[in-house]
A and B are shown apart, each in its own frame.
Chain A
């Protein structure tokens, strides 16, 4: 079947395939493989088939240039984006029956562009996790090995693209939740600059860090999705202008020779041999493509993990205070007064990791500890951002591996939150600085994918898109497909 949106678009335009045939194919793959992977929380079979029929009718009655740009192309949305006429659970018992009355901005923009939503992808509860094991709907498994995690929190979206449920999927990234699962599942993932994609209708976790983004097999598909969903939104005052549709996808880096920075701390890190080798090979490919390489200092990035695990839980404790059982979502039936309604609702419906982060964030913001924890972390965040500003005076991109290991085994890190948090080591600095960053496949180790991570300066997505696209023209790591066992683990 087709691997990219561009291939599908061409097939639809040449009438080699109809939207209905296409959507039926993807629904069939989901039906066949999802029992093994648990990548989907809900599948919108009827609605998708109806939408495909409408696209075919539209295509039959109108000329190609008057059709919506992405007419009939499939997508899976992470179950964190509000979608009308379907549940948006955020992977939590708290929202297990929540049916929003509006679409998130990125959902409505892509719908208007003609895309067909196949369903909602599994995720860590409220996007808190790095393995997709905290989902109320059960863990999702890695298509490359069912005994390994797909990463998180957007693990379902990454697994879905890797397994061929859809050529593209949406995700969200607060500290690495698109890039880490992209690396673990062998697909391409992009977190744009903070403010590029609207957060309206995206369930909030940590508002100064949360950013939507996309998964695909090929970076050019992500550029296409950005063209049709990015830009200012009156419902999210933190959004920014974005080039006109087709701007980024068509824009060329030009003749300027780009420079890749390699952080000095990389020489102190002891990485598995296969990841080190993949990193060296990736640099070699870029050098062949004409990129120059130099070392950059990012001295405060070593504090990214503790900084993140103060700021994100602090914001989460505030954002999740709204789930009290009064207006919507889960309500405990064992409450005898208002106070016990609050406590029982939250205690019964939140999972362990969410409780842990709410407790940590509440503690960091509490009287007597605020200055030592939240205030200090906010200042270190400024230093991390300044380091990047300094580095981008000399280089255009910064390369590291996406993760310090390949996908770990299911259950391996659930009892050790610190070990789990360390898997975000390379993705957190760009998140704290609000920078665009991407993960792309660059090798394998013992049958599991290895991802490499490029970060760029604010609003310089085009460097990422063009560089990864050029890398993917030179290599075939992104074309490898898993051979999925059809046994429930």
Chain B
């Protein structure tokens, strides 16, 4: 299998993980850009990081954490203004069928 075909398969697998559909006509440009970006990122492999710890997050002082109090939930009418997908009758989010036996 050619490198470009492998890269396309890699891209398509990644797109399923992040719930995006890469249209057939866009695949070659995506693969091309993906290859270029990965090649730039591969420069990182030349850095000796043995014994170096990962930089996860800038230190958060524990004193700045708020109390673990449960505040009152937002009123449902407020949520309805933000979300048009709340069902009037039961206040649940309406979505299409979850398990589609035909597919």
Residues of A within 8 A of B (CB): 98-101, 194-195, 208, 232, 234-235, 237-240, 300, 303, 305-307, 309-310, 317, 321, 324, 326-328, 331, 335-344, 346-347, 350, 355-356, 358-360, 362-364, 366, 372-373, 375-383, 385, 417-418, 421, 432, 434
Q: Do A359 and B20 touch across chains, with their CB atoms under 8 A apart?
A: yes
What are 7 pairs between A and B in contact, CB < 8 Å?
A195-B58, A306-B44, A337-B103, A346-B19, A363-B10, A375-B54, A383-B52
Q: Do B78 and A101 touch across chains, with their CB atoms under 8 A apart?
A: yes
Given contacts A237-B66, A376-B44, 11 further A-B contacts (CB under 8 A): A101-B78, A232-B64, A238-B57, A306-B44, A309-B37, A309-B40, A338-B97, A347-B20, A359-B18, A376-B47, A379-B47
A231 to chain B, nearest CB (A): 11
A470 to chain B, nearest CB (A): 29
> Closest 5 CB pairs between A and B?
A337-B100, A378-B54, A379-B49, A381-B55, A362-B18
A362-B14 contact in complex given A101-B74, A101-B78, A336-B96, C-beta closer than 8 Å: yes
Q: Do B33 and A356 touch across chains, with their CB atoms under 8 A apart?
A: yes
A129 to chain B, nearest CB (A): 14
Report the Cα distance A239→B63, complex, angstroms. Answer: 11
Residues of B within 8 A of A (CB): 10-11, 14-15, 17-22, 30, 33-34, 36-37, 40-45, 47, 49, 52-58, 60-61, 64-66, 74, 78-79, 81-85, 93, 95-100, 103
Q: Do A378 and B96 touch across chains, with their CB atoms under 8 A apart?
A: no
Q: Do A240 and B61 touch across chains, with their CB atoms under 8 A apart?
A: yes
Chain A, residue nearest B67 (CB): A234
Report the Cα distance A372→B83, complex, angstroms. Answer: 40
A174 to chain B, nearest CB (A): 14
Q: Do B34 and A360 touch across chains, with their CB atoms under 8 A apart?
A: yes
Q: Do B60 and A237 touch across chains, with their CB atoms under 8 A apart?
A: yes
Q: Do B40 and A305 touch across chains, with their CB atoms under 8 A apart?
A: yes
B64 to chain A, nearest CB (A): 5
Q: Do B21 and A326 touch across chains, with their CB atoms under 8 A apart?
A: no
Contacts of A310 in B (CB 8 A): 41, 44
B11 to chain A, nearest CB (A): 7
Q: Do B33 and A417 touch across chains, with their CB atoms under 8 A apart?
A: yes
Report the Cα distance A399→B65, complex, angstroms. Answer: 35
Q: Do A327 and B85 touch across chains, with their CB atoms under 8 A apart?
A: yes
Report the Cα distance A303→B41, complex, angstroms. Answer: 9
A417-B37 contact in complex given A326-B85, A337-B98, A343-B21, C-beta closer than 8 Å: yes
With beta carbons under 8 angstroms apart, the residue of A305, A307, A328, A373 that contacts B83 is: A328
Q: Do A234 and B66 touch across chains, with their CB atoms under 8 A apart?
A: yes
Report the Cα distance A347→B22, complex, angstroms. Answer: 8
Q: Do B81 and A99 touch across chains, with their CB atoms under 8 A apart?
A: yes
Contacts of B97 in A (CB 8 A): 336-338
Q: Do A336 and B100 touch across chains, with their CB atoms under 8 A apart?
A: yes
Report the Cα distance A339→B96, complex, angstroms. Answer: 9
Chain B, residue nearest A372 (CB): B45
Contacts of A342 in B (CB 8 A): 19
Q: Do A379 and B93 touch across chains, with their CB atoms under 8 A apart?
A: no
Contacts of A417 in B (CB 8 A): 33, 36-37
Contacts of B30 in A (CB 8 A): 356, 359
Q: Do B49 and A383 touch across chains, with their CB atoms under 8 A apart?
A: yes
Q: Do A376 and B49 touch across chains, with their CB atoms under 8 A apart?
A: yes
Contacts of A350 in B (CB 8 A): 20
Contacts of A382 in B (CB 8 A): 52-55
Q: Do A99 and B82 touch across chains, with their CB atoms under 8 A apart?
A: yes
Report the Cα distance A135→B30, complex, angstroms. Answer: 19
* Residue of A98, A317, A343, A364 with highest tally of chain B CB at under 10 A: A343
B8 to chain A, nearest CB (A): 12
Chain A, residue nearest B54 (CB): A378
Chain A, residue nearest B13 (CB): A366
Chain A, residue nearest B33 (CB): A417
Q: Do A343 and B20 touch across chains, with their CB atoms under 8 A apart?
A: yes
Report the Cα distance A355→B21, complex, angstroms. Answer: 10
A26 to chain B, nearest CB (A): 29
Q: Do A328 and B85 touch across chains, with their CB atoms under 8 A apart?
A: yes
B47 to chain A, nearest CB (A): 5
With beta carbons under 8 angstroms apart, the residue of A237, A238, A359 that contacts B15 is: A359
Report the Cα distance A418→B35, complex, angstroms. Answer: 11
A316 to chain B, nearest CB (A): 10
B72 to chain A, nearest CB (A): 14
